[in-house]
């Protein structure tokens, strides 16, 4: 039930601390002039469509339907800003960036900015998290964690699962507001990391553990273990549509 946290694993982005539908976070500086502005406009258009009851996603879409809806949502946004989009591709070409790379970068950055900043996108991302493609990506990223690092982080993941199990007994996590679920999971990970600090220091340097960007990378790895086969994905991964 944690679409924001879960999608951060797929996108490889830092975990968001706040989500809202009106103000966008500062995006990275443009490598191609106009890129950030285009992404911002695309996100604003998509978020408005998601928030509109007439154009928003249905509640019980299958993973395939959610994927198709997301593709159409993005295509409509690009069509709405076709002139700016083509100008961005032309500027990227002049900067020596291939058309395919430019198209992929705009799409990826727009997707990342959407889940970071648009509260109305939570339901869609929750449904997208059920797709086999995303599950395969998660499995692949889990394999990227080396054996030594896994031995250090596995106790952290187990502690997180214990905390989530206890919280679920008090009030079913699936019945809590989505934002509360995200805060609960990230808070449990940070608490467990702090408790396991001596063990972490046997693998990570002091500089790494003092760097918040690196800590976020560690949080993502713990999340991968939590949703993995030895974890407690029932508290994190959305249930299938037919469950």
* Same domain assignment for residues 60 and 157: no
Q: How many residues does the chain have?
A: 243
Average pLDDT over residues 10-22: 36
Q: Is the pTM higher than 0.75?
A: no
DSSP annotation of 193 reads: H
- On whether both 165 and 227 belong to a single domain, the answer is yes
pLDDT for the residue 207: 94
Are 67 and 95 in a shared domain? yes
Same domain, 152 and 116: no
Q: Give residue 238's pLDDT band: very low, low, confident or very high (50, 70, 90).
A: low
Provide the pLDDT for residue 137. 66
44 in any annotated domain: yes
**pLDDT surpasses 60 at 178:** yes
CA–CA gap between residue 127 and residue 67 (Å, rounded)? 9
Domain containing residue 158: 145-235
Query: Residue 31, SS3?
Result: coil
- Identify whether residues 151 and 119 lie together within a single domain: no
Nearest-5° Cα angle at 137, 132 to 140: 125
Q: Which of 144, 234, 122, 149 is nearest to 185 (CA)?
A: 234
Q: Which of 85, 129, 128 is nearest to 110 (CA)?
A: 85
Residue 243 lies in a domain: no
Q: pLDDT value at position 242?
A: 39
In a domain, 138, yes or no: no
Is the same domain home to 187 and 117?
no
- pLDDT at res. 11: 47
Same domain, 179 and 106: no
Query: What value does the mean pLDDT take over residues 96-125?
Result: 82
Query: Is 34 part of any domain?
Result: yes
Integer Cα distance of 185 and 5 in angstroms? 8
Any domain includes 242: no
Residue 14 CB contacts under 8 Å (≥ 6 apart), including other chains: 8, 213, 216
Tell whether 72 is covered by a domain.
yes
**140 lies in some domain:** no
**DSSP class of residue 56?**
S
Same domain, 32 and 103: yes
- In a shared domain, residues 109 and 154: no
- In this prediction, residue 4 carries a pLDDT of 47
97: Cβ contacts below 8 Å, ≥ 6 apart:
32, 105
């Amino acid at each position: 039930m944690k679409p924001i946290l879960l999608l951060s694993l797929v996108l490889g982005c830092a975990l968001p601390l706040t989500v809202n539908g009106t103000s966008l976070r500062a995006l990275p500086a443009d490598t191609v002039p106009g890129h950030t502005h285009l992404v911002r406009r695309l996100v604003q258009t998509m978020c408005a469509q998601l928030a509109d009851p007439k154009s928003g996603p249905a509640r019980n879409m299958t993973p395939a339907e959610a994927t198709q809806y997301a593709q159409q949502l993005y295509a409509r946004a690009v069509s709405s800003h076709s002139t700016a989009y083509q100008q961005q591709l032309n500027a990227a070409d002049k900067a020596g960036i291939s058309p395919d790379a430019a198209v992929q970068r705009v799409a990826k950055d727009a997707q990342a900015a959407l889940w970071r900043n648009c509260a109305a996108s939570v339901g869609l991302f929750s449904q997208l998290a059920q797709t086999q493609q995303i599950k395969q990506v998660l499995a692949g990223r889990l394999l990227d964690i080396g054996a030594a690092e896994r031995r250090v982080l596995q106790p952290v993941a187990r502690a997180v699962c214990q905390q989530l199990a206890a919280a679920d007994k008090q009030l079913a996590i699936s019945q809590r507001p989505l934002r509360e679920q995200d805060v609960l999971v990230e808070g449990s990970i940070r608490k467990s990391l702090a408790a396991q600090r001596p063990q972490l220091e046997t693998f990570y340097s002091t500089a790494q553990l003092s760097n918040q960007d690196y800590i976020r990378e560690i949080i993502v790895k713990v999340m991968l273990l939590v949703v993995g086969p030895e974890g407690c994905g029932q508290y994190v991964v959305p249930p299938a549509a037919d469950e």
